[in-house]
Amino acid sequence: MPEYRLPIRVYIEDTDAGGIVYYVNYLKYFERARTELIRSLGVDKTAVTEDGSVFVVTSAAIDYHVPARLDDQLEAVAEVVNSGAATIDFRQSVVRSGTELASGQVRVALTDGTSGKPKRMPKGLRELLT
């Protein structure tokens, strides 16, 4: 599956007092790119499905390489690297003009909205992810 690239502008709300993007915001950028990647596959409700199932992050690892700064134009990148019966593994990054600023891996799982237990993804979604 090809990678998805989401343009992002850094606003003052994204930065610390020194004008550098606050570290947790990279995870927010990752989230937006994952959501838009899934949406690009035709899945409109990417967090909560019609039957009440919920996608949740079960693990995230991130490495910071170079800081982003106020008013930078960035791209948040998401790529599906593996999908199982109930999980999706993503490779993600944030880049500026071809330079990787942060990179990481995120795993999400489909869970039952009431019990929180893992749930098999619908066959159609699994097929879209492979």
CA-to-CA distance for 90 and 77, rounded, in angstroms?
10
- Residue 17, Cβ neighbours under 10 Å: how many? 6
Q: At a CB cut-off of 8 Å and minimum separation 6, what does 107 contact?
A: 57, 58, 59, 60, 87, 88, 89, 90
Task: State the catalytic residue, choosing from 16, 63, 71, 112.
Answer: 16
Handedness of CA 91, 49, 58, 6 (dihedral sign): positive
16 flagged as catalytic: yes
Q: Catalytic residue numbers?
A: 16
